[in-house]
Amino acid sequence: MNWVFKLSLMLIASFIPYSIKKKFNILSLGKRDLVQTERYVLRYLNFLSPDVKEKYLSEDEELNILEFGPGENIFLSVHAWKHNNKVFFLDDGNYINFDFEMIIDFAKLIEMPTEKLNKLENIKNFDDLMNLTGCCFLSNGTQDLNFLKNNGYFFDLIFSTSVLEHVNKEDLQSVLDIFGEIVEQEQLHLVDFRDHITGFLNSHRIPQKIWHSFLFRKAQFHTNRILLPELISFFKKNSTRIEIPFFDTWKDEDLKFLRHISKKDERNFYRYAMIKVIKTS
pLDDT digits (tens, 9 = 90+) for 84-109: 999 999 999 998 889 999 999 999 99
Q: Which of 18-27, 166-175, 215-224 has the highest mean pLDDT?
A: 166-175
How far apart, in whole angstroms, are the C-alpha atoms of residue 134 and residue 88? 9
| Sign for the pseudo-dihedral over CA of 4, 5, 9, 12 | positive
How far apart, in whole angstroms, are the C-alpha atoms of residue 277 and residue 48? 10
Between residues 272 and 28, the one the model is more confident about: 272
Q: b/e for 248-266, b at 16 or more Cβ within 10 A?
A: eebeeeeeebbeeebeeee
Of 95, 103, 91, 110, nearest to 38 by C-alpha is 110
Question: Is pTM, for the whole model, over 0.95?
Answer: no
pLDDT band at 259, cuts 50/70/90? Answer: confident
pLDDT higher than 60, residue 255 = yes
pLDDT band at 26, cuts 50/70/90? Answer: low
Q: Greatest CA span in the chain, whole angstroms? A: 60
Between residues 84 and 30, the one the model is more confident about: 84
